[in-house]
Amino acid sequence: MGIEPLAAPPADSALPGRCPALGDVTAVIVSYNSAHCVPALAAQLADWPHVIVADNGSSDATAAVLRQQLPQAQVLELGENRGFGAANNAALARVSTPYALLINPDCEVHAAQALALLACMAQWPQAAIVVPQLVDGRGQPQLNYGWLRRQWAARGPGAEGLACVGNACGAAMLLRLPALPTRDWFDTRFFLYYEDEDLCLRLLQAGKPVLIEPAVRVAHANRGSVRGPRPLRVEWGRGYHHARSKILFTAKHHGPQPAARQRRQALAGALALLLLRLLAPSPKHVARLWGRIQGLWSAPVHY
């Protein structure tokens, strides 16, 4: 996109505790029945001056545990589950720093990693977003970025150096807030899933690059941020919202006819898979698949 880097800051400025740059970034976390994640978050963010948590109506005392173990955090109790994008927007509206680092409760982001992302952002002042490489518990890379959907097929190995990408996962995402002055970053029609991809696409259409810095690696316990008394309901919700948001994304960016075609094809595939799942049932997978079917059935094909 014709962007040019600036000179990198001195190497010692990336050492934890020696750089005032953490004062320029706010950690933004959305929680939902995530009390089990709070001790690790409290340890990671103990020295961060700015932390905001938007709690989506947790029933497991997440907000109380946060106030006890992470006392410097602003905890916004939303009282209900508004979804990932809406909760992030509520937190971002209160951020006074030039940068915000979105952190899923099941991610491990330490000061050194945040400072490395900030250094990358300083080198590329046109960039709106920089994300790290997410890795699993064994240190293996997760697929947390990609090309523009429906334009290029992903081929070959992952990024070996800094690269401009078409979409990136919001589980760990550094935002340059002046890049979108309204602070209303996410489209709240996406309750869960695809809101980050929609954001990246809109930024790229505005000429504001999204970067992956694979040298910064962040551990991510995928699907580990939510617990509760009804685990099958959680699995159903994952299937429901992923399917619904996928069709909504197509409707928004490609129109009603492609969305209707995608919904028909996905429904046929999901119903066929349901028959196989019932022959060798796994309650978790059946619940998620049934949620997917209901999400596809209810998904709008007109944005």
**Last-in-domain residue among 189, 220, 251:** 220
Q: Are residues 142 and 56 in the same domain?
A: yes
Q: Quick one: which of 98, 96, 103, 155 has its CA closest to 131?
A: 103
CB 115 within 8 A of CB 19: yes
Q: What pTM was estimated for this model as a whole?
A: 0.90
CA 145, CA 169: separation in Å to the nearest integer? 6
8 in a structural domain: no
Q: Residues 113-152: pLDDT tens digits?
A: 999 999 999 999 999 999 999 999 899 999 999 988 777 7
Instruction: State the total domains in the chain.
Output: 2
Token digits of residue 223: 């699907």
Q: Are residues 166 and 237 in the same domain?
A: no
The low-confidence residues of the chain, meaning pLDDT below 50, are: 1-19
Q: Which range of residues forms the domain containing residue 283?
A: 231-298
Q: Residue 151: what pLDDT?
A: 76
Q: Are residues 165 and 216 in the same domain?
A: yes
Q: Tell me the CATH number at 36.
A: 3.90.550.10
Q: Residue 133: what pLDDT?
A: 97
CB atoms within 10 A of CB 278: 10
Q: Residue 224: what pLDDT?
A: 62
Q: Are residues 197 and 248 in the same domain?
A: no
Q: Are residues 139 and 245 in the same domain?
A: no
Q: Residue 20: what pLDDT?
A: 58
Under DSSP, the state recorded for 106 is T
CA 58, CA 55: separation in Å to the nearest integer? 6
Q: Are residues 83 and 57 in the same domain?
A: yes
CA distances to 49, 67, 74, 163, 280 from 77, rounded to whole Å, are 20, 11, 10, 37, 41
Q: Residue 290: what pLDDT?
A: 94
10 in a structural domain: no
Q: Are residues 162 and 46 in the same domain?
A: yes
CA 271, CA 280: separation in Å to the nearest integer? 15
**Last-in-domain residue among 220, 250, 274:** 220
Q: Are residues 58 and 160 in the same domain?
A: yes
User: Helix (H, G, I), strand (E, B), or coil: what is residue 179?
Assistant: helix
**Last-in-domain residue among 220, 240, 271:** 220
Q: Residue 3: what pLDDT?
A: 47
9 in a structural domain: no
CA 41, CA 110: separation in Å to the nearest integer? 9
Q: Residue 228: what pLDDT?
A: 66
112 in a structural domain: yes
225 in a structural domain: no
Token digits of residue 284: 């978790």
